[in-house]
Amino acid sequence: MIRNKLKNKIFFYLICCLSFTVTMAAEADRLLPVEIESDTASFAKSNRHTEFSGSVMVTQGSLKISADKVVAERYDDGTQFITATGKPVRFQQNLDDLKEDGTPQVIKGHAEKVTFDHAQNTIVMSGNAFIDREGDTVSGATIRYNTKTSVYSVNSDGKGKKRVSVILQPSTVNGSSRKNP
């Protein structure tokens, strides 16, 4: 009984945090349960701190996140944060947009650290951040994405070692028209 209550609270916190992650992602995924697998998990009711570590796999429909460690925090004012770290953190998700063949477009990416801030509607990917959406790619030291406005910014490391890179595919690929991502 207590174990089920703890499990429900953990899932509630993570569902709240993960449900907003990528607004362009498949809407149907948001209605599905969040499944988390890890080697260890701990929950501290006193500070609403949940930690998963060791080959963490988070799945919600087509959304798949793999990380070494995931920490979810929720504060009394309702502020929620999820931080995933790894070498690297990887994610992949189907989008609502379809390719010409009727299959969903896919967004995937990776970074050493990914932070989801519900109050600020932001996802910050840092440490060799990279996103690929059907061949259109963006990479840099840091990628900041606003889930409410769909605006993103990419920064270099400021030292000239990791510059911002953007690759946009042409409107037509292999002689057929391509839907803009």
| Secondary structure E strands in the chain | 35-37, 40-44, 49-60, 63-74, 80-98, 104-117, 122-133, 136-146, 152-155, 165-167, 172-173, 176-177
Does residue 35 or residue 28 have the better pLDDT?
A: 35
Burial 61-77 (b: 16+ CB within 10 A, else e): bbbbbbbbbbbbbbeee
For the chain, domains (ranges, CATH) are: 2-177 (2.60.450.10)
DSSP states of 50-61: EEEEEEEEEEET
Tell me how far apart the terminal alpha carbons of the chain are, to the nearest angstrom: 46
Q: What phi, psi does 47 have (nearest 5°)?
A: -120, 10
The per-residue pLDDT for range 74-120, each reduced to its tens digit, is 877 777 788 999 999 999 888 888 888 989 888 899 999 999 887 78
Residue 132 has a pLDDT of 92
- Distance, in Å, from the CA atom of 139 to the CA atom of 156, rounded to the nearest integer, reads 9
CB 143 within 8 A of CB 165: no
- What is the maximum span of the chain, computed from C-alpha positions, in angstroms? 60
> Quick one: tokens of 91?
């994610």
pLDDT at residue number 140 = 95
Residue 155, strand partner residues: 142
Global pTM reads: 0.74
Answer yes or no: are the C-beta atoms of 37 and 57 closer than 8 Å: yes
pLDDT, one tens digit per residue, over 119-132 is 787 889 999 999 99
What CA–CA distance (Å, rounded) separates 28 from 96?
9
Q: What is the pLDDT of residue 174?
A: 47
**Coil, strand or helix: which one is 181?**
coil
The model's confidence at residue 14, banded by pLDDT at 50, 70 and 90, is: very low
Position 159 scores a pLDDT of: 86
